[in-house]
């Protein structure tokens, strides 16, 4: 029997639909996500299914979206909210970092702060420097948050369901470049637990850790490398906080070499944290310096050629691998 | 622009209620005067913001609340919590950083709460509670309860963008949240005239198509009435209101700033004296109760000494409370 | 609440000026219709937001500006820039991502500027320019020039917290910035009634103690007059104003959304048709000019074909322009 | 002749005063910084010196403070603004990251965006989880920004003067714990160039990289270690972006061991970036895994004992050093 194939955006919509059916304390709100189903079509059908009382378009008020979600969670609801793009998370960082992430602490551990903040992240579609950023590194710096970033429809659905069921605030980052990508997604209920990395490809020569939109490109790179006789193991942490460092370190102990690839700017990207942990925990196993692939420290241009130069592709990953093989 | 309408079934304030209100005002005063003494001895970690002179706001407003209404406070919130019935020993323990405090001694004055009493609590971010209170209102609306939410904030907070975003959304969705701006005429060192382009903060209600009330914050009953009307409106599904209460803080911005050289140079001595003398809400209310024949000098003294006793007991509790355990630093970060 | 007062010495709009205004409206229309064709062919990287139907706002407002007044635009800004005199070839080259564009082909439609003309430009963050425009006003005030700053923003942007913070501060400090809200009644898919609790956006002026005007955005002269009055007030040191212009965008939110299935399902066909037919600002203005005896069918056609020619030349320039060099990605990050 | 000693806060005030005298395009604004000279007294005397037209108290409107500064810079001014605490930078991240840092790019390189954003950072004075954070790692992730964090009055004054003269947006982070600390500061005009690390102590056995409020504590730790015969080199990068990695790497090549210490939360702190770069550039020289010292991933409690446990002190640095010696 052929596996069911659906697009990433459909996987998102399904996850929300299933969880909203499962628990009537959930509701969804955000800009333009009800009537037209979101700027990327990832919430299509929700309004029809659950009505205006549980699926709400909001004004352009990012602080209110997150702040109201937090308030609703305090009073017992389980909001799933959307900030249309990661770039605009800058607007509601206080609500996320100083309020939502800390509220359980400030109330002596009383309420569950079951808030999921979904956002489209990264670049690749020519929208330029205010519409192509990915701030996962920032969020991983914040105690109280969980940070999730899927790279396949399967993971997207399973992780989002887990995020919605989680009792903590979760930043759920959806690489915009992937919304149209299809992949196998079972029709049955399943969950991908938060905090578990996935070995996307087994290999013995080198470990490549990658997350977000670059992951499929890394899989291509691994294939190219395989054709040249280099057997790369590709690990997608999927959840960046908490990070499943055990799986990564186990792999590096096997391969003795590591490359980390993400699309965000390299400097102070989350790749730095992964590299720092690997060298700390597998120092004696490492044969070569850990390489990081990320966007150079520039802004993302709209010109498509330039954008392709800035956002790292498979060549950059292959280059990094070869630099230490 | 003031738009104060006395709507709603004005709940009859019985003698007992009035006396209880007075007691709660005194309790707050005693508590905060006591805190300042602790601070002088260096016993308060960080800082705390006392509300001496603003007790009528806390007491008037909370008296209007229903049992299960939520309260969202500010950085200056001891009074809000105590007025609403939070236990003094627990609050004091928290301000002193003791394990028995409501936040295990980890939050202090700016992170107090009492979840059993629907008190979300104080917040170290000015305006931090304004959106949250809207969200609480949204939840209550969704849950189809008849609860409401009362949100305190300051004149300073009213110029944060969150005020605008929250009030617009709260009004659009008609959530049962009452916004109470405690306009004590200063935001830290900034006087109202350098703070709000339109010094009539209640006039901002126009921008959100909601009622705006302006009330004398030295008159506990006036505060009660305005908030009661606003809460009733909220419960009727008519949405939020903006209640502005004019008051004054008789002490410095914070205990920390009081310690700084020049920390209170931003306002005239005479202004403080004037308010202290003629607009002290406790004195005013005591006078009123006496006029009503509800209070004598003796009964006032009795209340005062009972509150002092309560504070002494709280001190005893807090001082005998253990320090938080080292491993408690890991608690409450994740559920 | 509308508070539209025709203050100021209404500059006499000569026949030449009126005809130039008309030409500028047509130029914008031609440019943006041309852009949509480019987009159909997949030649526009990312997206762009056309302002078809809103040309009277751009032209009326910019006509009121002095030579050295600053202009701060929005994501929907081609019209603002062209109306203000930015060179069409440069703008087109930028939107197409060519090296000759004003941002070297790196910014596109959402990051246009023309610094020589004091045009700060478009912005991809809704409301992103509102504070900036206040700061420009502040600088002008400090520099004691008689320049002013005109800031466009949308009905959607008016619910961002920055609107509140900026207008309060701008009013407090009386900076010479005019805030022009182009209320085209939708913010992406959100209709005004779900967007603004008080749908009269100009009423918000009360909150900041500044004048609020509400103007018909299909009437280019009305827009001109309101903005001229507001700019004059600014120059007189009396501070900011809030001008709300009621208009309508005849196309979808963005070229990108127009391509999405269901991307325009959020508003009734009939509504669009109605505006298209009876409230098309170019048609209305043409009619008016004919009534004044300033225009004939022939002269209208001539202007149209001149604008078309201008666009063709811009296309030629842009298409013959080189792609940006790879190393240009490092430019302009640091000074 | 004894060197002149002044407090960190006085060094800040002097720097601003001198630069405001030097260039009349400069001005200062922020909350409570004029009339009382700032919540930490670091702008005392400016109002008296320059008057209300150039030293302005603002309402509590963090987005307006930064956004107005940016606008003023665009129109030719050189604002020095204050966000009272780093914790509240969360409120104006959009203005900083999407507008100020990118405006030069968006205008084709035309205006100088000479904006200095000063802020008090880190903890140590019992103010709790919303008044003790330090987000330097976030800012170092943002192309277009420079990030400075002095640890002595001398550096504070010299770096702030350099920051004010710089033509780019600079995030200037002042460790609140240090405001009262005194140190030698010459009366003559001097500048500490941005992007140059300072070797605060020379040593040969191990390199300790530290910045911000922990640096004096690290110097104490180095003394303790010296007493035990361990000769540590202490490097304060002072500017985190651009980072003077050359100086750090040269030291590590000499000592073969590195510890990085900062007060911010360890996970995804800027220490991760420094570690990742060191292992990349000095891999063959390293004898042991690079150790990072930072706050554990918890919130900062107000209780003073707990705060001392959370915020890393000299013992933690000594421990980290000994772990790899
Ligand atoms: C977002 C933010 N900005 C600044 C501060 C510092 N601060 C604490 S209280 C305060 C003044 C608040 O004024 P107001 O809202 O009028 O309340 P009041 O202190 O007068 O009760 C300021 C500026 C803060 N805590 N949060
Ligand atoms: C802060 C922010 N939130 C959301 C968006 C996505 N977005 C772009 S345009 C737009 C609608 C803007 O509406 P309005 O201000 O009325 O301008 P209009 O598009 O109608 O001209 C939205 C939601 C954005 N760019 N920035
Ligand atoms: Mg106040
Ligand atoms: Mg609009």
What is the Cα Rg of chain A in Å? Answer: 19
Q: How far apart are CA D309 and CA B329, in angstroms?
A: 8
Whether residue D156 has its Cβ less than 6 Å from ligand 1: no
Touching check for D267 and chain A: CB below 8 Å?
A: yes
**Residue C193 and residue B193 in contact, taking contact as beta carbons nearer than 8 Å:** no
Q: Is A271 on the interface with D (CB under 8 A)?
A: yes
pLDDT higher than 90, residue B5: no
pLDDT greater than 60 at residue D10: yes
pLDDT greater than 50 at residue B253:
yes
CB-nearest partner of C166 from D54, D64, D106: D64
CB proximity list for B154: less than 8 A, separation 6 or greater: B74, B76, B126, B181, B182, B183, B184, B187
Measured CA to CA, the distance from residue C248 to residue C280 in angstroms comes to: 9
How much is the average pLDDT of B26-35?
Answer: 98
Architecture of the domain made up of D5-184: 3-Layer(aba) Sandwich (3.40)
Note whether B120 contacts A: Cβ–Cβ < 8 A.
Answer: yes
Q: Do C105 and A302 touch (CB under 8 A)?
A: yes
C-beta of residue D169 within 8 angstroms of C-beta of residue D117: yes
Query: pLDDT-based confidence at C260, cuts 50/70/90?
Result: confident
Catalytic residues of D: 62, 131
Choice from B52, B156, B264 to test ligand 1 binding pocket (greatest atom count within 8 A of CB): B156
Alpha carbon distance B150, B69 (integer Å): 7
Q: Which atom of ligand 2 is nearest to the CA of C128?
A: 1
Residues of A in contact with D144 (CB under 8 A): 299
Q: How confident is the model at residue A31 (pLDDT cuts 50, 70, 90)?
A: very high
Query: What pLDDT does B267 receive?
Result: 94
| pLDDT tens-digit series, residues C34-63 | 999 999 999 999 999 999 999 999 999 999
pLDDT of residue D122: 98
Instruction: State residue B11's pLDDT score.
Output: 58
Which among C27, C217, B263 is positioned nearest to D44, based on CA atoms?
B263
**Tens digit of each residue's pLDDT (9 = 90 or more) over A162-181:** 999 999 999 999 999 999 99
Query: pLDDT tens digit string along B183-213?
Result: 999 999 999 999 999 999 999 999 999 999 9
Give me the pLDDT at residue C259, please. 84
Longest CA–CA separation in chain C, Å: 56
CA D114 to CA D17: how far, in whole Å? 17
**C152 - beta bridge partners?**
C180
DSSP state of A291: E
Chain-wide mean pLDDT for chain B? Answer: 95
B280-294, C249-263, D222-236: segment of lowest average pLDDT: C249-263
Burial of C57 (0-12, 13-18, 19+ CB in 10 A): buried
Residues 6+ apart with CB under 8 A from D139: D96, D145, D147, D171, D240, D241
B178 neighbourhood in chain A, CB within 8 Å:
none
Q: Which of residues 164-183 of B touch A (CB under 8 A)?
A: 165-166, 168-169, 172-173
What are the backbone angles phi and psi of residue B155, rounded to the nearest 5°? -60, -35
- ipTM given for this complex: 0.98
Pocket perturbation via mutation, ligand 1, pick of B51, B57, B75 by most ligand atoms within 8 A of CB? B75
B10-254+265-318 homologous superfamily: Thiamin diphosphate (ThDP)-binding fold, Pyr/PP domains (3.40.50.970)
The torsion angles phi and psi of A249, rounded to 5 degrees, stand at: -65, -40
The pLDDT of residue D233 is: 98
Residue tagged 């710096």 (tokens):
A141
User: Is the preceding omega at residue D162 within 30 degrees of 0, hence cis?
Assistant: no
- The C-alpha of D219 sits at a distance from chain A's nearest C-alpha, in angstroms, of 24
- With a CB cutoff of 8 Å and minimum separation 6, the contacts of C327 are none
Q: Which helix (H) or strand (E) holds B225?
A: helix B220-235
Q: Which residues of A touch C (CB under 8 A)?
A: 31-32, 35-37, 39, 41, 44, 57-63, 87-88, 91, 125-131, 296-299, 301-307, 309-310
Q: Do the domains spanning A5-184 and A198-324 agree at the CATH topology level?
A: yes
CB D231 within 8 A of CB D203: yes
- What residue ranges do the domains of chain A occupy? 5-184, 198-324
D62-74 and C161-172 helices cross at what angle (nearest 10)?
70
Question: Rounded to an integer, what distance in angstroms lies between the CA atom of residue C155 and that of residue A60?
Answer: 10
CB proximity list for C247: less than 8 A, separation 6 or greater:
C53, C54, C56, C57, C182, C183, C184, C185, C217, C218, C281
Q: CB–CB of D93/A63 below 8 Å? A: no
What pLDDT score was predicted for residue C6?
Answer: 41
Put simply, the answer to whether B161 touches C160 (Cβ < 8 Å) is: yes
- Give me the pLDDT at residue A124, please: 96
Taking the centre of ligand 2 as the mean of its atom positions, its distance from the CA of residue A106, in whole angstroms, is 34
For residue C8, pLDDT beyond 50: no
Cβ(B270)–Cβ(B232) below 8 Å? no
CA distance D273 to D158: 25
A110, pLDDT greater than 60? yes
Which residues share a beta bridge with C101? none
Neighbouring residues of B259: CB distance < 8 A, sequence distance ≥ 6: B39
Give Cβ neighbours of residue B91 (< 8 Å, ≥ 6 apart): B31, B78, B81, B82, B101, B102, B112, B314
Beta-carbon separation of D60 and B126 below 8 A: yes
Q: Is B322 in the D-facing interface, judged by CB distances under 8 Å?
A: no
Verdict on whether the full-model pTM lies above 0.95: yes
Ligand with the closest atom to the CA of B126: 1
Polymer length in residues for chain A: 325
A256 burial class (0-12, 13-18, 19+ CB within 10 angstroms)? Answer: middle
Does residue B60 contact residue B221 with C-beta atoms inside 8 Å?
yes
Q: Chain D closest CA to C303's CA: distance in Å?
A: 31
C-alpha distances (whole Å) from B14 to each of B24, B25, B292, D134 are: 15, 17, 11, 52
DSSP A98: I
pLDDT at C1 over 70: no
> Given a cut of 70, is residue B2 above it in pLDDT?
no
Optimal mutation site among A72, A83, A96, interface B, most CBs of chain B within 10 A? A72
**What CA–CA distance (Å, rounded) separates D293 from D283?**
20
* Average pLDDT rounded to a whole number, residues D197-209: 98
Average pLDDT (C1-9) is 40
Ligand 2 test: best mutation among C52, C75, C252, most atoms within 8 Å of CB? C75
Strands A182-184, A5-7: pairing is: antiparallel
SS (H, E, C) chain D: CCCCEEEHHHHHHHHHHHHHHHCCCEEEEECCCCCCCCCCCCCCCHHHHHCCCCEEECCCCHHHHHHHHHHHHHCCCEEEEEEEEHHHHHHHHHHHHHHHHHHHHHCCCCCCCCCEEEEEECCCCCCCCCCCCCCHHHHHCCCCCEEECCCCHHHHHHHHHHHHHCCCCEEEEEEHHHCCCEEECCCCCCCCCCCCCEEEECCCCEEEEECCCHHHHHHHHHHHHHHCCCCEEEEECCEEECCCHHHHHHHHHHHCCEEEEEEEECCCCHHHHHHHHHHHHCHHHCCCCCEEEEECCCCCCCCHHHHHHHCCCHHHHHHHHHHCC
Q: What is the DSSP string of A23-48?
A: -TTEEEEETT-SSS--TTSTTTTHHH
Report which ligand 1 atom has the smallest distance to the Cα of D84: 4
Residue B264's pLDDT is what? 83
Cβ(D83)–Cβ(D61) below 8 Å:
no
Q: For residue B191, report the distance from its CA to the centre of ligand 3, in Å.
A: 8
**Sequence-distant (≥ 6) Cβ neighbours of residue C41 within 8 angstroms:** none
Q: What pLDDT, on a 0 to 100 scale, did the predictor assign at position B10?
A: 53
Q: How far apart are CA A275 and CA A265, in angstroms?
A: 15
CATH number for the domain whose boundaries are A198-324:
3.40.50.920
Give the residue on B whose Cα is nearest the Cα of D32: B189
Ligand 2 site, CB within 6 A: A 31, 60, 62, 84, 88, 91; C 49, 75-76, 124-126, 154-157, 184, 186-188, 253
Q: At what angle do helices C128-142 and C161-172 cross, to 10 degrees?
A: 10
Query: What CA dihedral angle connects B24, B27, B32 and B37, to 10 degrees?
Result: 170
Q: Is the CA virtual torsion B13, B15, B16, B21 positive or negative?
A: positive
| CB-based contact C19:C217 (threshold 8 Å) | no
Give the span between the Cα atoms of D195 and D174, in whole angstroms: 17
Residue whose CA is at the smallest distance from ligand 1 atom 10: B188
Lowest-pLDDT choice from B256-270, D53-67, D100-114: B256-270
- What is the reported pLDDT for A212? 98
Residue B3 predicted with pLDDT over 50: no
CB contact under 8 A, B197 and C164: no
Residue A49 falls in the annotated catalytic set: no
Smallest Cα distance from B118 to chain A, Å: 9
| Identity of the residue in D96, D140, D279 whose CB atom sits nearest the CB atom of A268 | D140
Q: What percent of chain D has pLDDT over 90?
A: 99
Residue nearest to atom 20 of ligand 1 (CA): B187
Look at residue C7 in the predicted model and tell me its pLDDT. Answer: 42
- pLDDT score of D129: 98
CB contact under 8 A, C143 and D75: yes
Backbone phi, then psi, for D302, in 5-degree steps?
-80, -30
Predicted confidence band of residue B74 (pLDDT cuts 50, 70, 90): very high
- For residue range D35-79, list pLDDT tens digits in order: 999 999 999 999 999 999 999 999 999 999 999 999 999 999 999
Angle made by CA atoms A89, A92, A96, in degrees to the nearest 5: 95
DSSP state of A204: S
CA geometry: angle C128, C132, C133, nearest 5 deg? 110
Chains sharing 3 or more CB pairs under 8 A with chain C? A, B, D
């Amino acid at each position: 029997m052929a596996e069911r194939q659906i697009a990433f955006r459909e996987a998102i919509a399904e996850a929300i639909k299933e969880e909203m059916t499962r628990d009537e304390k959930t509701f969804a709100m955000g800009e333009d996500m009800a009537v037209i189903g979101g700027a990327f079509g990832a919430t299509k059908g929700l309004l029809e299914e659950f009505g205006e009382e549980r699926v709400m378009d909001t004004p352009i008020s990012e602080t209110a979206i997150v702040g109201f979600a937090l308030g609703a969670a305090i009073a017992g609801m389980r909001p799933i909210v959307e900030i249309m793009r990661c770039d605009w998370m800058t607007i509601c960082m206080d609500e996320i970092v100083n309020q939502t992430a800390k509220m359980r602490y400030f109330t002596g551990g009383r309420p569950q702060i079951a808030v999921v903040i979904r956002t489209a992240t990264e670049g690749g579609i020519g929208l330029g420097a205010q519409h192509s950023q990915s701030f996962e590194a920032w969020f991983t710096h914040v105690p109280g948050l969980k940070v999730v970033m899927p790279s396949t429809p399967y993971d997207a659905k399973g992780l989002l369901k887990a995020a919605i069921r989680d009792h903590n605030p979760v930043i759920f980052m959806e690489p915009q470049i992937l919304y149209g990508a299809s992949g196998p997604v079972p029709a049955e209920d399943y969950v991908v637990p938060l905090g578990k990395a996935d070995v996307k490809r087994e290999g013995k020569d080198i470990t490549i850790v990658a997350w977000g939109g670059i992951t499929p490109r890394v899989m291509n790179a691994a294939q190219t490398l395989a054709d040249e006789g280099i057997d790369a193991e590709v690990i997608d942490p999927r959840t960046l906080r908490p990070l499943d460092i055990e799986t990564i370190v186990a792999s590096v102990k096997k391969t003795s070499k590591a490359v980390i690839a993400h699309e965000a700017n390299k400097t102070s990207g989350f790749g730095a944290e992964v590299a720092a942990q690997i060298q700390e925990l597998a120092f004696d196993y490492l044969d070569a310096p850990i390489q990081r692939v990320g966007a150079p420290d520039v802004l993302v241009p709209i010109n498509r050629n330039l954008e392709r130069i800035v956002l790292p592709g498979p060549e950059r990953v292959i280059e990094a691998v070869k630099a230490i093989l | 622009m003031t738009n104060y309408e006395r709507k709603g079934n004005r709940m009859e304030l019985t003698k007992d209620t009035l006396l209880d209100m007075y007691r709660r005002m005194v309790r707050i005063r005693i508590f905060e005067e006591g805190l300042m003494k602790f601070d002088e001895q260096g016993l308060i970690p960080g800082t705390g913001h006392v509300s001496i002179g603003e007790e009528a706001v806390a007491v008037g407003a909370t008296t209007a609340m229903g049992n299960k209404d939520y309260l969202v406070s500010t950085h200056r919130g001891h009074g809000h919590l105590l007025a609403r019935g939070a236990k003094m020993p627990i609050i004091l323990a928290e301000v002193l950083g003791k394990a028995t405090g409501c936040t295990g001694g980890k939050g202090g004055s700016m992170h107090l709460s009492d979840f059993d009493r629907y008190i979300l609590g104080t917040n170290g971010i000015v305006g931090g509670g304004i959106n949250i209170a809207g969200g609480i209102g949204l939840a209550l609306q969704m849950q189809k309860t008849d609860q409401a939410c009362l949100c305190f904030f300051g004149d300073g907070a009213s110029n944060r963008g969150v005020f605008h975003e929250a009030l617009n959304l709260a009004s659009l969705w008609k959530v049962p949240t009452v916004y109470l701006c405690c306009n004590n005429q200063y935001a830290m060192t900034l006087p109202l005239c350098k703070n709000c382009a339109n010094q009539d903060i209640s006039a901002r209600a126009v921008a959100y198509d909601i009622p705006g009330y302006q009330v004398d914050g030295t008159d506990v009953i006036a505060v009660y009435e305005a908030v009661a009307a606003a809460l009733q409106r909220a419960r009727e599904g008519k949405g939020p209101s903006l209640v502005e209460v004019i008051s004054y803080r008789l002490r410095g911005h914070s205990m920390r700033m009081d310690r700084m050289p020049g920390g209170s140079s931003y306002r005239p001595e005479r202004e403080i004296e004037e308010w202290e003398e003629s607009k002290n809400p406790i004195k005013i209310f005591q006078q009123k109760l006496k006029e009503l024949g509800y209070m004598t000098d003796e009964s006032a003294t009795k209340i005062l000494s009972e509150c002092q006793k309560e504070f002494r007991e709280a001190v005893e509790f807090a001082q005998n409370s253990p320090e938080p355990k080292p491993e408690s630093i890991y608690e409450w970060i994740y559920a």
